[in-house]
Amino acid sequence: MAIHSGQIMAIAIFSAVGAWLVVGSLAAEPLEQPIALSEQFPNQLSSVMVRDSQASHISELLELTGTTQANKELALVFEASGRVVSINKTRGQKVSKGEIIAQLDTRDLEAQLASARSTVEARRQDLEATRSLVGRGLQNQTQLASAQAVYDQAVAQRASLEIAISNSKLEAPFDGVLEQLGLELGSFVSAGQQVGKLLNYEPLIIQVEVPEADINRIEIGSSAQVKLLAGGQHFDAMVDFISSSARSSTRTFLVELKNSEPLSLQVSGLTARVNFQLPGVVAHFVSPALLQLTEDGQLAIRVVEEGRVVEHPISIIRTQTDGVWISGLEPQSLIITRGQGFVSPGEQVSLVQE
């Protein structure tokens, strides 16, 4: 059978296409090899660098800011009305208990007192005479009772005037410093009118607001180191009072400390740095660069336990220039120092020691 040229051409094209497909399929096979090689190591572990950290027992400091206050503060008032005739002290001076700070005019009261004393003596004599007459049957018990009442009234009037004269003296109720004294010679003051303020600084009080997270760590008798910013004076103090209710605006508790030794400084309102010495804790020393934030915003650090990454929330106990002390880990922990950002909690990892 004869073959036409057109048929020869078709056979040639078909053969070329088939050969191209065969060669193409053979050439494509090596391209699949890299995928096959990676699938041969599906369990290859990520590597992290770790440090075997041993915790240390350190003392913990709670650093807060407070202010100095007087131990006692009292508004000074006269208990009687009158005109000021003497002023023995000036504002800012120290006074001792019982010292007379100022005096009101008592001339009229003293004249009344002299008359009252004479009246008491006269009424006493009348009472004695009445008793004698009753004893002889010349007067009755009703008359004796009346004489007794008149005498008692005279005695009460004398006592009232003596108290009024005593109240005309402005006397220091305790040792202290006159913070205020608003008196002028010849001025008139009324009973109960405040004329000054007396402060006592022995001992000096330091008031500090303690956050609610720390209030259970402080108790009556806890010690603290205090530093005054003005002058840099240091001294020891002891907790004397802890408020049982928090301030609604700040959720802090008022704590008062008293200095343990006498101080020459007697000033209210000074800023004070208060360092509470708390019971020791077990802590690890790490670089702050190793700390991370959890999804809920809490500080954490990643360690390796039984070959897997574990993320532990931590608390910073103390900061230093070269690192921080943290709590929240086991006493001996494998802390991840490199690669923690490329692994996830629960992931199994291979370890490289520092």
Q: 3-class secondary structure for the chain? A: CCCCHHHHHHHHHHHHHHHHHHHHHHHHHHHHHHHHHHCCCCCCCEEEEEEEEECEEEEEEEEEEEEEECCEEEEEECCCCEEEEEECCCCCCEECCCCEEEEECCHHHHHHHHHHHHHHHHHHHHHHHHHHHHHCCCCCHHHHHHHHHHHHHHHHHHHHHHHHHHCCEEECCCCEEEEEECCCCCCEECCCCEEEEEEECCCCEEEEEEECCCHHHCCCCCEEEEEECCCCCEEEEEEEEECCCCCCCCCEEEEEEEECCCCCCCCCCCEEEEEEEEEEEEEEEECHHHCEECCCCCEEEEEEECCEEEEEECEEEEEECCEEEEECCCCEEEEEEECHHHCCCCCEEEEEEC
CATH label of the domain that carries residue 186: 2.40.50.100
Higher pLDDT, 41 or 346: 346
Q: Of the candidates 60, 109, 61, 53, which has an alpha carbon nearest to the alpha carbon of residue 81?
A: 109
Final residue before a domain boundary, out of 259, 280, 301: 280
Q: What is the pLDDT of residue 196?
A: 96
Q: What is the pLDDT of residue 225?
A: 93
- Same domain assignment for residues 270 and 294: no
Q: What is the pLDDT of residue 38?
A: 31
Q: How many domains is the chain partitioned into structurally?
A: 4
For the ranges 38-47, 76-85, 337-346, the lowest mean pLDDT is seen at 38-47
- Same domain assignment for residues 122 and 95: no
- Same domain assignment for residues 302 and 219: no
pLDDT band of residue 11 (cuts 50, 70, 90) is very low
Percentage of the chain lying above the pLDDT 90 cut = 67
- Same domain assignment for residues 189 and 251: no
| In a domain? residue 26 | no
| In a domain? residue 33 | no
| In a domain? residue 29 | no
Q: What is the pLDDT of residue 61?
A: 80
The stretch 12-32 carries a mean pLDDT of 41
Q: What is the pLDDT of residue 138?
A: 84
| In a domain? residue 191 | yes
The stretch 127-144 carries a mean pLDDT of 88
Strand partners, 283: 56
Q: What is the pLDDT of residue 174?
A: 95
Non-local (6+) Cβ contacts of 16 within 8 A are none
Q: What is the pLDDT of residue 267?
A: 87
- Same domain assignment for residues 183 and 110: no
- Same domain assignment for residues 271 and 288: no
Q: What is the pLDDT of residue 4?
A: 45
- Same domain assignment for residues 265 and 303: no
Final residue before a domain boundary, out of 155, 180, 199: 199
For the segment 261-320, what is each residue's pLDDT rounded down to a tens digit? 777 778 899 999 999 988 778 999 999 999 999 888 899 999 999 999 999 999 888 888
| In a domain? residue 20 | no
pLDDT band of residue 193 (cuts 50, 70, 90) is very high
Q: Which domain, by its residues, includes 306?
A: 47-58+281-353
CATH label of the domain that carries residue 228: 2.40.30.170
Q: What is the pLDDT of residue 6?
A: 43
- Same domain assignment for residues 100 and 174: yes
- Same domain assignment for residues 204 and 67: yes
Q: What is the pLDDT of residue 1?
A: 44
CATH label of the domain that carries residue 116: 1.10.287
- Same domain assignment for residues 153 and 193: no
- Same domain assignment for residues 153 and 241: no
Q: What is the pLDDT of residue 42?
A: 54
| In a domain? residue 145 | yes
- Same domain assignment for residues 100 and 117: no
| In a domain? residue 252 | yes
Final residue before a domain boundary, out of 280, 312, 339: 280
Q: Report yes or no: 181 and 92 within 8 Å, Cβ to Cβ.
A: no
| In a domain? residue 334 | yes
Residue 221 scores a pLDDT above 60: yes
Q: What is the pLDDT of residue 60?
A: 75
CATH label of the domain that carries residue 286: 2.40.420.20
